[in-house]
Amino acid sequence: MKPTLKFDDWDQPALPASSGNRFGNTNEPRTVARSGPIADADNAINTVGTNSSLPPVDAEQKRVVNGQTDINQLAPFKYPWAWSFFLNANRNHWTPLEISMAQDVHDYQHKLTPAERHVFENVLAYLTTSDILAMRNIGLAVMEKMSAPELQIYQARQVYEEALHTWTYQHCIETLGIDQREIYNRYRVVPEIHGKIALANRRLHGVLQSARPLTDRDALHEFAMAYLFFAAVFEGSWFYNGFSPVFALQRRGLMKGTAEQLQYIMRDEVLHCAFGIRVVRQLLDEENLTLDPQALRQMWDEAEAAETAYAGYILRDPILGYNAGLHIEQFRFVANRRARQLGLSEPFSGAENVLPWLDEQANLRKEKNFFETRVTEYQTGGALVWE
């Protein structure tokens, strides 16, 4: 049976509700000495050549954060699903050089209208900066706070994939002959693009700080909110919906090479989002943590406002089959899906799926002439299983 990616299969029952203050039932912060993995590593070094030994790792003692088991010992797993994500991600290997861009060069130079070129270029301008931001957030902020190696090893693959996506956008820009200095600087000079990047930087800034240990409940809440924003909004909603304008061109036979590359990227991002949401749910459960409803409402409202301004700019002139209204409504619909997957209430009640073809871009399985282009179903090894 061919694997099919079903997005609503990720919806899971809500985690048990906590009572008390916003941090759940815990009356006092749990204080865990930072002597576990670090001390074990130091002891292992100090006991080389002696008869000393360390106790074996108990998988049940692993935690998403604040764990005290040896961070260097992969198995036994506590989170086998994280290892499955890693294996699936490695079946998705591809590079942008495998996809022909010849038709895109002709389309870009001779077929796109000024409005379509405006849309296409500004989508690329946003994406070029966003994936670098994603790479840095996972590589410099999130990974070092994870205390189970099976979580870190998937995120190491994710860091590579974000770099691969950046290469893909650069490959498109170079192939089409777009002014690199101009397009890469748009996020700095166009307020509507800058607004999304600035909001993401502000929301993720707290994660980059290492001065406050996550044994502090306020710091833990800040971390959970930041990682939730990254998984559910930045990657799960903005990225997922952000490729739609180019897919709208593809549906009319335009810029098909770029769109096919975005399909590959979208499949990677689907796994990134699913993994992040799974980790957040696990974290909330393990730490008995309840997210502040007001903080959640503010997060969704800020994300919607930034996306509305962005859509108004890139689609200031509608293109055939696509406009700013469709873009925003689809963002709201996707955001509701992410909230459900987190066990949270929908932030945009009544939002409609106005782009029913969008999910098909990740589900799509095409048979193609091997000598023309690579099959969209990219994988190596065994059958691909989607989480």
Closest CA to 65 of 212, 179, 255: 212
Q: Which residue has the tokens 């036994």?
A: 76
Q: Is 154 a catalytic residue?
A: no
Q: Which residue has the tokens 């590593």?
A: 41
Active-site pick, 169, 240, 313, 322? 169
State yes or no: 235 annotated in a binding site: yes
Residue 319 main-chain phi, psi, to 5 deg: -110, 165
Closest CA to 154 of 69, 67, 77: 77
The answer for residues whose C-beta is within 8 angstroms of residue 111's C-beta and 6 or more apart is 254
- Calculate helix-pair angle for 149-176, 114-136, nearest 10 degrees: 150
Q: Where does residue 136 rank: exposed (0-12), middle (13-18), buried (19+ CB within 10 A)?
A: middle
Alpha carbons 251 and 332: distance in angstroms, whole number = 22
Q: Is the dihedral of CA 154, 156, 159, 163 positive or negative?
A: negative
State yes or no: 162 annotated in a binding site: yes
State yes or no: 106 annotated in a binding site: no
State yes or no: 272 annotated in a binding site: yes
Q: Which residues are annotated as a binding site for Fe cation?
A: 131, 162, 165, 235, 269, 272
Residues belonging to the active site: 169
Numbered residues of the known binding site: 131, 162, 165, 235, 269, 272
